[in-house]
């Protein structure tokens, strides 16, 4: 607030250095001077030709906000002092028509950021100085044109006037003078336009266009500061996780003119090809042009190499400068430059963005050139680069054409990268049918559930109108390495009509669509894709990954449910399987009936077991008469329940060999490496038809076929499903509780695992199963289950007379388990953090509900800093993990600890897992190379930090 700062504060402010001449700064002062300011400073220090200028610091911007949008004390005076220095150096003066200095005002934060104020060029023009410009350029028309452009640019950018208001007037002027284009307007016509533009400013803002160059400068600096909190800038920072308290710097710099004739021009260049990484200058140049004309695409620029022919001396100097910049920054630079009458000026240098291909090639080349160390090379490649290198993508030109043709339907959330093309299909069965027959399809659903998985497997990709990055569709698609776009909310999926609508556009079943899982774009029609080269052919990527492997401490395992996935994961560098989910094997179509038979019989068979055990116990204690009575009862029960028991045992008997083959396949694929197999985990009703569907079917059959055996069967099923219904299935009968209630299922699974391992061992295959018991909350649960299963395991080895190495362990996914990890570690030989459930239970969020209903708002409104299902919540969930690691290892120092939740593939979470000392992370097979890199980066970052 005005006038509230104390004398002490004012004194402190006046002594603060708010303004740095370019020669006073350096590359290392990026936080204070912003990227652009630090770049100009570094180039100036290196003696490169940079038009003189100064930078107002990011601290000044922050002070501007804390003092009610006024410049901090002393800042303006320092800026004027700096301006004096520049005037001396150039021998020109701002506002002096006879010796004209013009400046540009350029915003520049620590991280390059669209959404902030555009650069204002030619600041300092007014009715008097425009005469000076005409003299300087010997071109009256050019001067008037620059002046009207300045008012237009300044009016829009600094004064916030709608661009349309100026364009309309320009159009009218063109009409009046029968001019086809701006360039057809003569000097006097432009002078009229300048007058009208000033009227526009008065009309729109109620005040005159500032003719005083000092006033122009002051307002422009304020506008740059204000743009830091502009809506677009704030949204961009939110999306890119850039803090809001960094502030932006302001650069004020002497103008140089690229539009002074054919020995002038402006251009942008990369020191290496940003697409391929090739070591060759890459960029564009425009003769006789100013500012962003190159980027604006008004005229077609020439390739930078042409400069050698046109201005050979400039080209030579330029190439010397760029290679020097590369050596200084030891990275690819993206530079902006201007040539004024044959003299080269450098205006900007920054680290060049690059594609995945370029990133690995550049990293590899620069190690060979001695520019960077392998440590740095590993840190230079981003996890996203690696993702890009292993996924198919759309032909960029074809995609651009599609956008131009209006074929971009909508943009949803990019859930799983890669490009997919196929016929739109709206149900999983049809996707399965067509897909298995070799047709290319894209499965389109409002959202997906386990019922849709069989349709996702043969599909090219998945598109849903609802859900977020951790919805079922996203998680499953990522696991499969399949492209997916989710949450495309403008799409209305009409399952009945087998069509989807976006506005009034209708896409019917079988029409071709293309989806880009890396960007979230959805197109009508086919866009040709480019498949990724196989990893073994990507020499530079392999080289970078090898360096990463040498530097990481964390192992990388993969979640794989079948031999194919395990094999793929192994090829990509997985060092084990961290999670093999047996329920996925149960979902397969020909097995489901057997699984259902088992589930329906299980409760009865179980009751039989419980009742008979009770009776037997009572008999031991009973006297003779009572005992006979009990014996009769026992016989009765046994007779009654015999069919259910037979059913149950028959079903388990059928499942045993199937599971044995599953496990054999996966253990064989991972020969010599650990495979963690989780015993059955989900609530059983997930394998049964839905209650609502059954209810309808039974009602229908009662009407149409009351006597049918089908009705009897369905009614039985309905009764069973009803008996199994739970108010809260995720907290109901699942995980180890299932095994405690129905030990037969677990015993069958352990038998299958051990028989598979023994058989392999006999063949000479080193199988290393690790049996994982899910959802433990109390150590007694684990003791009981493990007790039962240990017997089974020993029995199998005795039967086969062969010993195999195996382990029993547990998931840590219930908060109570984490809190009592010491006790649990006594029985468990390994821990695996199930961070999905652990996050759900720690937050008391049901993930599916949270993501559909409120989580988006939560993160948008910053109630939560990020989606905790994507990046592990270090403070809360992370605390539980720390406790469990510490107390588990205290009790059992060689306890093997990993993570198998989705977070295992997330680079930010990997950093945390490395920090807390896990042994491995386990992620989806396609995520393995990314995790290898991320684990190395975490280790390297840790080595440098002081934590």
Q: Interface residues with ligand ADP (CB under 6 A)?
A: 51, 104, 106, 119, 121, 253-256, 266, 291-292, 336, 338, 347-348
Closest approach, Cβ 348 to Mg ion, in A, equals: 4
Closest approach, Cβ 212 to ligand ADP, in A, equals: 20
Based on CB atoms, which residue is closest to Mg ion, 468 or 735?
Answer: 735
Closest approach, Cβ 340 to Mg ion, in A, equals: 17
Based on CB atoms, which residue is closest to ligand ADP, 284 or 292?
Answer: 292
* Strand bridging mode 93-94 / 53-56: unpaired
Query: How many other C-beta atoms can be found within 10 angstroms of the C-beta atom of residue 4?
Result: 8
Based on CB atoms, which residue is closest to ligand ADP, 291 or 468?
Answer: 291
CA distances from 358 to 354, 590, 595, 884 (A): 6, 47, 50, 42
Closest approach, Cβ 290 to ligand ADP, in A, equals: 6
360: left (phi > 0), else alpha (psi -120 to 50), else beta? alpha
Based on CB atoms, which residue is closest to Mg ion, 25 or 834?
Answer: 834
* DSSP states of 142-201: HHHHHHHHHHHHHHHHTT---HHHHHHHHHHHHHHTT-SSGGG--HHHHHHHHHHHHHHH
CA distance 181 to 860: 45
Q: If contact means CB under 5 to 8 A according to the sort of partner, which of Mg ion, ligand ADP, none does residue 344 touch?
A: none
* Structure-token pair, residue 113: 């950021």
Based on CB atoms, which residue is closest to ligand ADP, 295 or 705?
Answer: 295
The active-site residue, picked from 61, 580, 900, 923, is: 900
Q: If contact means CB under 5 to 8 A according to the sort of partner, which of Mg ion, ligand ADP, none does residue 659 touch?
A: none
Q: If contact means CB under 5 to 8 A according to the sort of partner, which of Mg ion, ligand ADP, none does residue 567 touch?
A: none
Based on CB atoms, which residue is closest to Mg ion, 118 or 837?
Answer: 837
CA distances from 204 to 146, 169, 218, 458, 855 (A): 22, 13, 20, 60, 42
Q: If contact means CB under 5 to 8 A according to the sort of partner, which of Mg ion, ligand ADP, none does residue 834 touch?
A: Mg ion
621 three-state secondary structure: helix
Based on CB atoms, which residue is closest to ligand ADP, 255 or 933?
Answer: 255
Closest approach, Cβ 811 to Mg ion, in A, equals: 6
Interhelix angle 129-137/140-157, nearest 10 degrees: 130
Question: Mask 833-862, x = binds Mg ion (CB under 5 A)?
Answer: -x--x-------------------------
Residues near 735 by beta carbon (within 8 Å), at least 6 away in sequence: 681, 773, 774, 775, 776
Burial class (CB in 10 A: 0-12, 13-18, 19+), 901: buried
- Euclidean distance between the first and the last CA atom of the chain, given in angstroms as a whole number: 39
Q: What is the DSSP letter of 862?
A: T
Q: Is 900 a catalytic residue?
A: yes
Note the maximum CA span of the chain.
127
Task: Please report which helix (H) or strand (E) contains residue 933, including its range.
Answer: helix 928-944
Residue pair 443/431 in contact (Cβ under 8 Å)? The answer is: yes
Residue pair 646/736 in contact (Cβ under 8 Å)? The answer is: no
CA-based nearest residue to 185, from 197, 172, 198: 172
Q: If contact means CB under 5 to 8 A according to the sort of partner, which of Mg ion, ligand ADP, none does residue 837 touch?
A: Mg ion
CA-based nearest residue to 357, from 540, 216, 231, 493: 540
Residues near 879 by beta carbon (within 8 Å), at least 6 away in sequence: none
Based on CB atoms, which residue is closest to ligand ADP, 347 or 655?
Answer: 347
Phi, psi of 259 (to 5 degrees): -110, 45
Based on CB atoms, which residue is closest to Mg ion, 336 or 896?
Answer: 336
- Calculate the CA 774 to chain-centre distance: 29
Footprint (CB under 5 A) of Mg ion, residues 761-820: 813
- Calculate the CA 121 to chain-centre distance: 37
CA distance 78 to 65: 19
CA distance 428 to 774: 29
Closest approach, Cβ 124 to ligand ADP, in A, equals: 11
CA-based nearest residue to 714, from 695, 742, 734, 739: 695
Residue 93 forms beta bridges with which residues?
Answer: 100
* DSSP states of 39-77: HHHHHHHTT-----EEEE-HHHHHHHHHTTS-PPTTHHH
Q: If contact means CB under 5 to 8 A according to the sort of partner, which of ligand ADP, Mg ion, none does residue 291 touch?
A: ligand ADP
Based on CB atoms, which residue is closest to ligand ADP, 126 or 338?
Answer: 338
Residue pair 137/257 in contact (Cβ under 8 Å)? The answer is: yes
CA distance 529 to 85: 56
CA distance 556 to 577: 9
Closest approach, Cβ 35 to ligand ADP, in A, equals: 9
Closest approach, Cβ 342 to ligand ADP, in A, equals: 15
Residue pair 668/760 in contact (Cβ under 8 Å)? The answer is: yes
Closest approach, Cβ 358 to Mg ion, in A, equals: 20
Based on CB atoms, which residue is closest to Mg ion, 65 or 843?
Answer: 843
Closest approach, Cβ 729 to Mg ion, in A, equals: 13
Tell me if 333 contacts Mg ion by CB under 5 A: no
Closest approach, Cβ 13 to ligand ADP, in A, equals: 27
Closest approach, Cβ 287 to ligand ADP, in A, equals: 14
Q: If contact means CB under 5 to 8 A according to the sort of partner, which of Mg ion, ligand ADP, none does residue 266 touch?
A: ligand ADP
CA distance 462 to 419: 11
Tell me if 348 contacts Mg ion by CB under 5 A: yes
Q: Is 685 a catalytic residue?
A: no
Task: Please report which helix (H) or strand (E) contains residue 581, including its range.
Answer: strand 577-581
Number of residues that bind Mg ion (CB under 5 A): 5
The active-site residue, picked from 385, 454, 472, 685, is: 472
Q: If contact means CB under 5 to 8 A according to the sort of partner, which of Mg ion, ligand ADP, none does residue 51 touch?
A: ligand ADP
Query: How many other C-beta atoms can be found within 10 angstroms of the C-beta atom of residue 681?
Result: 22
CA distance 711 to 108: 73
Closest approach, Cβ 108 to ligand ADP, in A, equals: 7
- Calculate the CA 274 to chain-centre distance: 21
Tell me if 349 contacts Mg ion by CB under 5 A: no
By the criterion CB under 5 A, which residues form the site for Mg ion?
336, 348, 813, 834, 837
Residues marked as catalytic:
472, 900
């Amino acid at each position: 607030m005005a006038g509230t700062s104390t004398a002490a504060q004012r004194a402190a402010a006046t002594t603060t250095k708010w303004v740095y001449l370019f020669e006073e700064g350096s590359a290392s002062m990026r936080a204070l001077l912003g990227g652009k300011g630090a770049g100009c400073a570094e180039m100036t220090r290196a003696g490169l030709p940079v038009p003189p200028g100064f930078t107002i610091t990011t601290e000044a911007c922050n002070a501007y906000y804390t003092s009610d949008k006024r410049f901090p004390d002393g800042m303006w005076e320092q800026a004027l002092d700096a301006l004096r220095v520049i005037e001396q150096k150039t021998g020109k003066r701002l506002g002096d028509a006879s010796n004209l200095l013009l400046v540009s005002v350029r915003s520049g934060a620590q991280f390059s950021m669209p959404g902030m104020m555009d650069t204002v060029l030619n600041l300092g023009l007014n009715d008097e100085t425009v005469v000076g410009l005409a003299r300087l350029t010997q071109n009256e028309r050019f001067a008037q044109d620059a002046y009207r452009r300045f008012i237009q640019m300044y009016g829009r950018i600094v004064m916030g006037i709608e661009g349309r208001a100026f364009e309309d007037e320009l159009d009218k002027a063109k009409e009046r003078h029968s001019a086809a284009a701006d360039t057809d307007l003569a000097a006097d016509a432009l002078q009229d336009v300048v007058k009208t533009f000033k009227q526009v400013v008065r009309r729109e803002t109620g005040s005159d266009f500032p003719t005083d160059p000092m006033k122009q400068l002051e307002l422009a600096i304020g506008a740059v500061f204000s743009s830091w909190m502009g809506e677009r800038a704030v949204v961009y920072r939110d999306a890119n996780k850039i803090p809001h308290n960094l502030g932006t710097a302001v650069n004020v710099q002497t103008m140089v003119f690229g539009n002074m004739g054919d020995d002038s021009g402006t251009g942008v260049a990369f020191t290496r090809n940003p697409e391929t990484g090739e070591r060759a200058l890459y960029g564009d140049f425009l003769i006789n042009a100013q500012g962003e004309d190159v980027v604006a695409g008004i005229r077609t620029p020439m390739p930078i190499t042409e400069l050698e022919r046109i201005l050979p001396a400039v080209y030579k100097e330029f190439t010397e400068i760029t290679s020097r910049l590369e050596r200084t920054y030891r990275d690819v630079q993206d530079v902006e430059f201007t040539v004024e009458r044959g003299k080269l000026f450098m205006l900007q240098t920054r680290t060049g963005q690059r594609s995945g291909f370029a990133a690995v090639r550049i990293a590899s080349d620069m190690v060979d050139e001695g520019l960077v160390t392998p440590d740095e090379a590993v840190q230079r490649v981003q996890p996203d680069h690696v993702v890009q290198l292993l996924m198919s993508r759309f032909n960029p030109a074809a995609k651009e054409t599609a956008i131009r043709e209006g074929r971009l339907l909508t943009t949803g959330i990019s859930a799983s990268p890669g490009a997919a093309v196929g016929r739109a299909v709206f149900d999983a069965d049809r996707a399965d049918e067509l897909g298995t027959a070799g047709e290319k399809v894209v499965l389109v659903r409002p959202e997906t559930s386990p019922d849709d998985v069989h349709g996702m497997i043969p599909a090219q990709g998945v598109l849903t109108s609802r859900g977020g990055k951790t919805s079922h569709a996203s998680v499953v698609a990522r696991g499969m390495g399949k492209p997916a776009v989710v949450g495309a909310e403008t799409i209305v999926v009409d399952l009945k009509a087998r069509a989807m609508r976006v506005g009034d556009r209708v896409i019917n079943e079988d029409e071709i669509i293309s989806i880009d899982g890396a960007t979230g774009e959805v197109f009508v029609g086919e866009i040709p894709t480019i498949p990724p080269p196989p990893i073994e052919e990507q020499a530079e990527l392999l080289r970078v990954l090898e360096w990463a492997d040498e530097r990481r401490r964390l192992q990388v395992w993969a979640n794989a449910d079948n031999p194919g996935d395990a094999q793929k994961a192994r090829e990509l560098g997985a060092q084990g399987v961290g999670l093999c989910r047996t329920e996925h094997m149960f979902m397969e179509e020909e097995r489901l009936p057997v699984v259902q038979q088992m589930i329906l019989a299980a409760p009865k068979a179980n009751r039989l077991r419980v009742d008979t055990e009770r009776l037997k116990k009572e008999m031991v204690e009973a006297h003779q008469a009572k005992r006979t009575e009990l014996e009769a009862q026992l016989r009765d029960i046994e007779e009654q329940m015999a069919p259910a028991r037979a059913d149950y045992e028959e079903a388990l008997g059928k499942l045993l060999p199937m599971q044995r083959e599953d496990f054999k396949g996966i253990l064989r694929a991972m020969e010599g490496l650990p495979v963690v197999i989780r015993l059955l985990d989900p609530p059983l009703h997930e394998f049964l038809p839905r209650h609502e569907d059954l209810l309808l079917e039974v009602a229908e059959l009662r009407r149409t076929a009351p006597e049918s055996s089908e009705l009897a069967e369905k009614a039985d099923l309905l009764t069973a499903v009803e008996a199994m219904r739970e108010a809260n299935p995720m907290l109901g009968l699942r995980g180890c509780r299932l095994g405690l209630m129905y030990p037969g299922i677990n015993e069958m699974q352990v038998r299958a695992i051990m028989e598979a391992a023994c058989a392999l061992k006999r063949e000479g295959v080193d199988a290393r199963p690790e049996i994982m018991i899910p959802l433990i909350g109390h150590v007694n649960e684990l003791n009981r289950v493990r007790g039962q299963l240990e017997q089974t395991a020993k029995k199998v080895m005795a039967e086969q007379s062969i010993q195999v190495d195996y382990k029993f362990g547990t998931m840590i996914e219930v908060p109570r388990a984490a809190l009592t990890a010491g006790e649990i570690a006594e029985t468990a030989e390994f821990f695996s953090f199930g961070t999905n459930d652990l996050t759900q239970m720690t937050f008391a969020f049901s993930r599916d509900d949270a993501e559909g209903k409120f989580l988006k708002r939560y993160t948008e409104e910053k109630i939560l800093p990020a989606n905790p299902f994507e990046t592990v919540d270090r403070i809360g969930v992370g605390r539980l993990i720390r406790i469990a690691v510490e107390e588990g290892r205290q009790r059992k120092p060689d306890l093997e600890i990993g993570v198998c939740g989705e977070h295992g593939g997330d680079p930010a979470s990997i950093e945390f897992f490395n920090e807390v000392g896990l042994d491995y992370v386990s992620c989806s097979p396609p995520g393995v190379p990314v995790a290898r890199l991320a684990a190395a980066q975490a280790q390297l970052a840790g080595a440098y930090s002081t934590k």
